[in-house]
Amino acid sequence: MRCPYCQEGDSRVIDTREVGNTIRRRRECPRCGQRFTTYERLSPVSLLVVKRDGRREPFDREKLYLGIYKACAKRPISEEQIEKLVGHIESELFALGKAEVESKVIGEMVMEQLRDLDDVAYVRFASVYRRFKDVNGLVEEIKEFKKWKQRGEPVAAAAKKGKRTKRS
């Protein structure tokens, strides 16, 4: 693996961990001594995402990662947690065994995972994903979220029972 700092063509693996379907490796360059992280994963079969307007585009893991990363910005969530969440969602998508998946399926998967991970990240993602027409829609989403939290029921279980939030 080439060092991103000095471009040395070799590096030493210090630590290896599995993160979902990904292998995370901490590396050290023998030339400059800098440490860096690499992620390895199998190239999955192609998956098309059907957008709201009917367009189809290839599934882009990086786009999923960036959307979740933005929702988690300035929150006490590590990059490893985000990577694990993205890996979990990606695994679920490919486990569906379909060539095409609607973008709303992906959005709902992300929302379920973020509900359990961080309240603020969930609300941030929901505000973009649900495209609220006004503040009342956002307030309603937060009220429903609070009800789930008070019941102490894992949100993923509530979603499977059909208890979805009201949308504006």
What pLDDT, on the 0 to 100 scale, is given for residue 44? 60
What pLDDT, on the 0 to 100 scale, is given for residue 43? 65
Coil, helix or strand at residue 12: strand
> How far from 104 is each of 20, 50, 52, 53, 116, CA to CA, in Å?
22, 9, 8, 11, 19
**pLDDT tens digits, 19-65:** 877 899 999 999 999 999 998 887 666 899 999 999 999 999 999 99
**pLDDT tens digits, 68-81:** 999 999 999 999 99
- Alpha-carbon gap, residue 74 to 82, rounded angstroms: 13
What pLDDT, on the 0 to 100 scale, is given for residue 26? 96
By percentage, how much of the chain surpasses pLDDT 90? Answer: 62
**pLDDT tens digits, 85-119:** 999 999 999 889 899 999 999 999 999 999 999 99
> Mean of the pLDDT values across residues 134-162?
71
pLDDT at 159 over 60: no
- The better pLDDT of the pair 15, 46 is held by 15
Tokens of 38: 């690499």
